[in-house]
Structure 1
Amino acid sequence: MTSSPTGGSAPEEGRYGEDLFAPEHPREAERIDAAALVFDPVTTRRLRALGAGPGSRCLEAGAGTGTVARWLLDEAGVDEVVALDRDTARLNALAGPRLRVITADLTDEALRPGGFDLIHARFVLMHLPQRRRIVTRLAKWLNPGGWLVLGDALEVPDPTDSTSAYRRTMDAMWQALRSTIGTDISSVPAYPHFLREEGLRDVAAELVGPPLVAGSPLALFWAETWRRMRPALEETGLVDAVVIDEALAYLASPRLAELGPGMAMAWGRRG
């Protein structure tokens, strides 16, 4: 879940994670949905507070397995959802009169999905090159009065811990993601400023850090992520197999006591 804060070029090898997290992997949907279980309540509460509901046309950018898209349709009752992702295999079954599925890359400059009353992108921009430019494009797709909501990962590491198996493995993960995919979370705290620079109004942000406890969906998400990334983790030189095994055991242990990576959300409205 890292390129320059203004969006430098991401390495070609990563294909935004497909080499590390192949969409066809039998546990990929489970891994994604584990994170959704944790963060969907936070996301949907914010979208509801911003007025997601009947009369709205919404873009779910990087729609994943479609959990937020389904909520927008079934719970919020919006008129139409456009679910956009590079891999839409798990979205096509949801397609219908009110759900349009677009298989596309958000970095495609030719992409013209129309105007929206709500645009939401979660755990997407941090993986993409030219993320600052993409914020500009997303803002331009807003209808008057429409909201742009961005959510990405943010680390709050313990400054007294640089040697534990957990910290070394987490640091190795960020380095591996940076070198293979181009993931960059360093600019996430600047998202409110980006929205303000786009002329959006009522800009605000929040940081949510769900509990990281053994057996929780969040612990299961990180454990599965590290297992799938094991070769890339070792290639960083920051960890070896013994350290990774210790970190995985710690994630499953009642001794687990960490302020894990959270999610920063920023939102703003087109005047």
Structure 2
Amino acid sequence: MEHNEPGATGGPPGQAYLLDNAGREASARFSALAAMLDPGTIRHLEERGVSSGWHCLEVGGGGGSVATWLAARVGPAGHVLVTDIDPRFLESLQALNLEVRRHDIATDPLPEAAFDLVHSRLVLLHLPEREKALARMVAALKPGGWLVDEEFDSSIDLVSSAYPEEVYSKTYVAMARTMDSRGVDRRFGRRLFGRLRAHGLVDVNAEGRTFMWHSGSSGVSLLRSNYEQLRSTMIDAGYITEADFNQDLAGLDDPGFMMPSPILWTAWGRRP
């Protein structure tokens, strides 16, 4: 594995992210995301034809599970560049055809027309300069190359529950308010289809997936890690009291707990 760390990225690693990789909860979050989302991600990548010899870019590699799969899929004849503003969880990846790079997709350049595939998951919705980042990702594609991006739409999930057992807790609402206050576009997943078309891609399509999160599931593990990482931020902002937070955190262990997840939109398109 090659490590390539260019110069400054415009600030300390993770400063632009509400749920940055420096938090002690990050490892649990990445494990939960991989367990819940990797099967669907891999299906989409397989359907785009990823195979031996491809050159792939993974933007915001996080815990590295998708980059590891890509490296195995493209084989010795292929190459995977995996980037992150804070690549601490990528440093241990072991593959000769995999390169880790500290990189801020919002500000740092990428090689142009270099990749058969560019993939990202749950990155752009956090970025104030998401359109510039998306333009960089499109420009990095070879002619005929595929862009696959996956983002949550959590803007419509605070509706009335269908069953009494479904819970949208005070802490979940506080987390949504915190994200809104920090410039997260919680509707960006739904916008993906239109944004890929607007950037000139062809054969654009999209699929939405949702999950029922319940006690013991990877979705609840994700909620727990996010709640714990944002605890002080939410309480200090006055969005939730400490007593309500503690009650909601304990409620995740209730065998009867359930709530629908946000919609995960996967959109894909090909550079002409």
TM-score in terms of structure 2 length? 0.85
1:194 maps to: 195
1:172 maps to: 174
Letter of the 2:172 partner, please give it. M
2 CA distance for matches of 1:187 and 1:24?
24
Stretches of structure 1 that go unaligned for 5 or more consecutive residues are 1-11
2:114 maps to: 115
2:68 maps to: 70
1:262 maps to: 263
1:4 maps to: none
1:208 maps to: 209
1 CA distance for matches of 2:159 and 2:212?
19
Shift of 1:84: 0.6
Shift of 1:21: 4.0
1:130 maps to: 129
For the structure 1 residues 88 and 113, does the alpha-carbon distance in structure 2 shift closer, same or farther, using more than 3 Å as the test?
farther
Once the two structures are superposed, what CA deviation does each residue of 1:215-262 show, in whole Å capped at 9, x if it has no partner?
A: 111101101210221111123323212221222222221221211223
Q: Is the 8 A contact 1:48 1:76 kept in 2?
A: no
2:5 maps to: none
2 CA distance for matches of 1:30 and 1:93?
17
Shift of 1:137: 1.7
Shift of 1:114: 5.7
Q: Is the 8 A contact 2:145 2:271 kept in 1?
A: yes
Superposition map of 1:101-112 within 5 A: 101-112=100-111
Letter of the 2:159 partner, please give it. P
The reply to whether residue 47 of structure 1 matches residue 45 of structure 2 is yes
Q: Is the 8 A contact 1:165 1:247 kept in 2?
A: no
1:234 maps to: 235
Letter of the 1:130 partner, please give it. E
Shift of 1:108: 1.6
Matched residues, number: 255
2 CA distance for matches of 1:75 and 1:186?
32
Decide which structure has greater helix share: 1
2:9 maps to: none
2:83 maps to: 84
For the structure 1 residues 93 and 113, does the alpha-carbon distance in structure 2 shift closer, same or farther, using more than 3 Å as the test?
farther
For the structure 1 residues 22 and 62, does the alpha-carbon distance in structure 2 shift closer, same or farther, using more than 3 Å as the test?
closer
Q: Find the residue that maps to 1:137 and give its secondary structure.
A: helix
1:36 maps to: 34
What is the root-mean-square deviation in Å for CA atoms of aligned residues? 2.4
2 CA distance for matches of 1:157 and 1:236?
22
1:160 maps to: 160
For the structure 1 residues 251 and 217, does the alpha-carbon distance in structure 2 shift closer, same or farther, using more than 3 Å as the test?
same
2 CA distance for matches of 1:138 and 1:108?
12
Letter of the 1:265 partner, please give it. T
2 CA distance for matches of 1:169 and 1:201?
40
Q: Find the residue that maps to 2:258 and give its secondary structure.
A: coil
Letter of the 1:16 partner, please give it. A
Q: Find the residue that maps to 2:248 and give its secondary structure.
A: helix
2:146 maps to: 147
Shift of 1:148: 0.4
The higher relative CO (CA closer than 8 Å, separation ≥ 6) is in 1
2 CA distance for matches of 1:21 and 1:246?
25
Large movers: runs of 4+ above 4 Å? none
